[in-house]
Amino acid sequence: MEVERVAVIGAGPCGLGVAKYLLAEQKFKSIAIFEQRDQPGGVWNYTGDEGINSTSTSALARPKPSQEPQQPVGGTFASPVYDSLETNIPKSMMQFADYSFSADTALFPTHAVVKNYLHRYAEELLPYIRLQSLVLDVSLSKKNPKPEWTITWRDLKTNEILVKQFDAVLVANGHHNDPYIPNITGLAEWGRAYPGSIIHSSSYRRAGSFSNKKKKVIVVGHSASGIDIANQIGRVSKHPLLISERTATTLSPEQVTISKSLPEISLLSIGERCVQFADGHEERDVDHIVFCTGYHFSIPFLSGVQPHIVTDGVRPHHLYQHVFYSKEPTLALIGFPQRIVPFPFSQAQGAWVARVLSGRLSLPSQVEMERWIGAWTVTRGEGRSFNTFGFPLDADYINSLYELSSYAARVDGLDNDGHGKRPPFWGEKEKWTRARVPLIKKASQALGTRRGEIKTLEELGFNFERDYVPDAEARL
């Protein structure tokens, strides 16, 4: 693999993470990082109510991924970050391996703290970042002796369309920009009859608009954002708050007192503002529905690449080890699996990718890469589970890439005595912490407004040196 010119699409956490490893290889003649926003940091750049328009809040079903690149509204790419958002991962787990949060940072940092952290981390990369550059198309040509990728983008400052060729493209634009809203009978009619009564979590900013004990609210979905948003709305809206889920989960003790769990919605009827559920239950006089239903995997600028990486939006396809496009591995995706810790995860992938593109590591043949994809499919299935990690799978994956990276050829002058910039590795303490993240978050939330005063795990009562028991960890 002969690579001199590398493009990274996205200057959010994953793009920044991989770019540091590309630089550390001291191999590439040019590195260009394309970012559509006017500053690095991706969705962590809080935009408040800016960038939200009638389209983003309309009650239209969005069952399939968009075929068009995201566009700014009033010059702003709206971030899904809401006012009171804080991380759901402790800072010690979330941070990059080569850059720690400051000691006085809260255990679960606010979005503003994370943004500033990312801006500081990006300082070294600013000369390589093309801000306000909206990628429109990425296409492959094999007319030359080696594969060549053409990137077409719009300079949002001048509105000029620009084109440039690269030897490799790393896609790190995330998957929080194309909301998924299921196609429910009556949804469009409801939206026309009651404008603004249905939103996706990407447009949620604060509980204030639900602050009326007479307002009946349904929150659809109960993953990380759904739980947090439901907790916020449940404190100010009519009780019980209605939580609709495809697969029922256990409500927290706090939620049990103010919430009611229901199956998925089957029908919306504008008469009496009636919502019918899959079990036949009906709720009338519903004021608001908030869809916390996640996002499509959507990469419109790769729509011309065959075979398609994105089809139905459920997960990416044709990715060896969830990274390299098996049909042409000078294309790679960074940070796309779900239920991961993105910062160290992207570094683990980035360390491996950078070593491969610099020629210090080789990939297996296309046949072997596709055999791996097939084996993973047999184990994990074709649907969302294929791309869903969680613990301990994420820990095993990060450490497997650490091992793969360790086989790279040594080169004088590189970091780590010629072996290159170290990738993250999760030892027993990291795995012990990762396994307890839900308990740690719960203990933090129980402190209410005092939780911002907590800076360490130990202050919450979680002490690895005191409590770690190897046999117990094996059973966790």
Sheet holding 265-269, edge to edge: 265-269, 274-277, 282-283
For strands 133-141 and 148-155, give the pairing. Answer: antiparallel
Residue 394 is given by DSSP the state H
Helices (H), 13-133: 13-24, 91-94, 111-121
* Residue-level pLDDT at 250: 79
* Whether residues 356 and 384 fall in one domain: yes
- CATH number for the domain spanning 11: value is 3.50.50.60
Q: How far apart are CA 81 and CA 227, in angstroms?
A: 15
> For the residues of 333-374, what is the DSSP string, one character each?
E-S-SBSS-HHHHHHHHHHHHHHHHTTSS----HHHHHHHHH
Stated as kind and residue range, the H or E segment containing 267 is strand 265-269
Residue 271 is assigned to a structural domain of this protein:
yes
Write out the residue range of the structural domain in which residue 205 sits. Answer: 187-291
Same domain, 170 and 194: no
Instruction: Identify whether residues 170 and 193 lie together within a single domain.
Output: no
Cα–Cα dist 77/35, whole Å: 11
- Mean pLDDT of each 10-residue bin along the chain, 476 residues long: 95 98 98 98 96 63 85 92 96 97 97 98 98 97 87 98 98 90 94 92 93 93 89 93 88 84 96 95 96 93 95 94 98 96 97 98 98 97 93 97 98 97 97 96 92 97 94 56
* 440 within some domain: no
The length of the chain is 476
Question: Given this model, what pLDDT does residue 182 score?
Answer: 92
List helix spans (H) across 158-307: 187-193, 224-234, 253-258
| Look-up of token digits 């504008």 | 270
Residue 474's pLDDT is what? 52
Q: What is the reported pLDDT for 142? A: 79
Closest CA to 158 of 134, 192, 189, 140: 134
Contact 398, 345 (CB under 8 A): yes
Please state the domain count of the chain.
2
Does 283 share its domain with 312? no
Q: Is 253 in the same domain as 350?
A: no
CA distances to 37, 45, 179, 279, 384 from 57, in Å: 21, 20, 11, 28, 26
- Residue 457 and residue 93: Cα distance in Å, rounded? 11
Q: Which of 267, 291, 315 is the last residue of a domain?
A: 291
Distance separating alpha carbons of residues 224 and 240, to the nearest angstrom: 20
Same domain, 287 and 337: no
Task: Give a yes or no: residue 65 inside a domain.
Answer: no
Supply φ then ψ for residue 151, to 5 degrees. -105, 130
The count of C-alpha atoms lying within 13 angstroms of the C-alpha of 19, restricted to the half-sphere facing its C-beta, is 29
Domain boundary among 240, 275, 291: 291
pLDDT given at position 220: 96
Residue 62 covered by a domain: no
Helix H or strand E segment including 269:
strand 265-269
Kindly state whether residues 308 and 378 are assigned to the same domain.
Answer: yes
Which domain-ending residue is among 245, 274, 291? 291
Q: Are residues 93 and 159 in the same domain?
A: yes
If asked whether residues 300 and 285 sit together in one domain, one would say no
What's residue 241's pLDDT? 95
407 found inside a domain: yes
Question: What per-residue confidence (pLDDT) applies to 240?
Answer: 94
pLDDT of residue 471: 66
For residue 307, is the peptide bond before it cis, meaning its omega torsion is within 30 degrees of 0? yes
Q: Exposure string (b/e) for 444-470, b if CB count within 10 Å is 16 or more? A: bbeeeeebbebbebeebebeeeeeeee
The two three-digit tokens of residue 349, written as one number: 């992938």
Residue type, 397: Y
